[in-house]
Amino acid sequence: MSTTSQPRRIIYPGTFDPITHGHEDLVRRAAQLFDEVVVAIASETPKNPIFPLAERVALATETLTGIPGVRVRTFSGLLIHLLQEEKTHLILRGLRAISDFEHEFQLASINRRMDAQIETLFLMTSDQHTFLSSSLVREISRLGGDVSAFVHPAVASALKRHFRNGVDLSHSEK
């Protein structure tokens, strides 16, 4: 794809708690546009993830296996430092609805303020994933619902284990 000696790399940051078919769809589509898509899983997040970092990485890796040019890694601290480390200035973000845009626009603006080289590229989610969010998947699973239509089988199994009988085991078994 790239005509220069340096590959075109884009960073797709997030908590991925859990990774969904919506995330996977964005990664697949971005992999067609870039030499490398780095799925960067945040180790520090105010979101209180249900899965520990290592499990989020393992689930993302399993979900994204087979997509050429995709790499999963963790990061901590500021996203701009990760971009510098990965020698890129491109961030991928997905948009489901106009409500996503406000928050994403704010993040893109502040990142660009901190480093004028940064570009945030937005991809609209595919129609079948516009309603899908990790928090919705977690809630359905917590209430004993079947999430297999929304996530990779390994993620569905992990959620089922995590929410045995509708009980959140994140603090009692880890």
User: Pick the catalytic residue: 2, 47, 76, 103?
Assistant: 47
Q: Is 85 annotated for ligand binding?
A: no
21 given a catalytic annotation: no
Q: Is 93 annotated for ligand binding?
A: yes
Q: Is 134 annotated for ligand binding?
A: yes
138 given a catalytic annotation: no
23 given a catalytic annotation: yes
User: Pick the catalytic residue: 23, 56, 138, 162?
Assistant: 23
96 given a catalytic annotation: yes
Q: Is 23 annotated for ligand binding?
A: yes
Q: Is 105 annotated for ligand binding?
A: no
Spatial CA neighbour of 93 closest among 102, 84, 85: 102
Q: Is 79 annotated for ligand binding?
A: yes
Q: Which residue has the tokens 């309603």?
A: 131
User: Pick the catalytic residue: 9, 134, 152, 162?
Assistant: 134
Active site residues: 23, 47, 96, 134
Residues tagged in the binding site annotation for substrate:
15, 47, 79, 93
